[in-house]
Amino acid sequence: MKKLNILLAASLGFAAFVAHADVANAVKLEKKYALFAKEANPEYSGPSAVDGKFFFNRKIKLANGKEAACASCHTQNPADEGKHIVTNKPIKPLSPMVNYKRFSDVDKVEEQFTLHCNDIIGSDCTAAEKANYIAYLLTEKTPSVKK
Ligand code: HEC
């Protein structure tokens, strides 16, 4: 989704992505995606963390017959470190509440969304799904207690 990418970069301003490493960028990005979602569908009333959570955990049958969800690699608690289901490599927490680096680079975010959405749902996610997704991640701030 190159066009959305350029629009996002232009409207947020590159400087915003360099100066602060905190949750503000994630919130801005969530709002931007929500604006695009409303443009596409005026009835979109989100961002909805509830829908985002559902989407995150929803298992989808892949082309190879296996089932996977975003949670398969990012774990059911996005405040926790994840683990790649194919390579077993650790993945830093996805929640911007515990990992300020998340959602701070708009190009990376768009690239990863496109990649993973295609992997799991077979197409890029919509702006509504992305807004809901970030809204949900922003609610996950407590890493699980290690056993
Ligand atoms: C097969 C494993 C896997 C699955 C399944 C997966 N991801 Fe990821 N995800 C990764 C890896 C690996 C990274 C990048 C590593 C890193 O940045 O730490 C990542 C990073 C991301 C990022 C980048 C955030 C940022 O700003 O750094 C987003 C957004 C993302 N994933 C969204 C999703 C969504 C949406 C789904 C479900 C539709 C999903 N992922 C499913 C492995 C996965």
The predicted-structure confidence for 14-70, as pLDDT tens digits, reads as follows 444 444 457 899 999 999 999 999 999 999 998 999 999 999 999 998 888 889 999
Query: CATH code at 41?
Result: 1.10.760.10
Q: Is 113's C-beta closer than 6 angstroms to any atom of ligand 1?
A: yes
| C-alpha angle 40-34-125 in degrees, rounded to nearest 5 | 70
Q: Is the pTM of this model over 0.85?
A: yes
In a domain, 69, yes or no: yes
Domain enclosing residue 119, as ranges: 2-137
85 close to ligand 1 (CB < 6 Angstrom): yes
Contact 99, 10 (CB under 8 A): no
Q: What is the pLDDT of residues 67-84, one digit of tens each?
A: 999 999 999 999 999 999
Tell me how far the alpha carbon of residue 41 lies from the centroid of ligand 1, in angstroms: 26
Alpha-carbon span 74 to 83, nearest angstrom: 7
The verdict on the CB of residue 108 being under 6 Å from ligand 1 is yes
| Residue 119: how many other CB atoms lie within 10 Å | 16
- Number of domains composing the chain: 1
Q: Are strands 67-68 and 82-83 parallel, antiparallel or unpaired?
A: unpaired
Note whether residue 144 is domain-resident. no
| Distance, CA of 125 to CA of 115 (rounded, Å) | 10
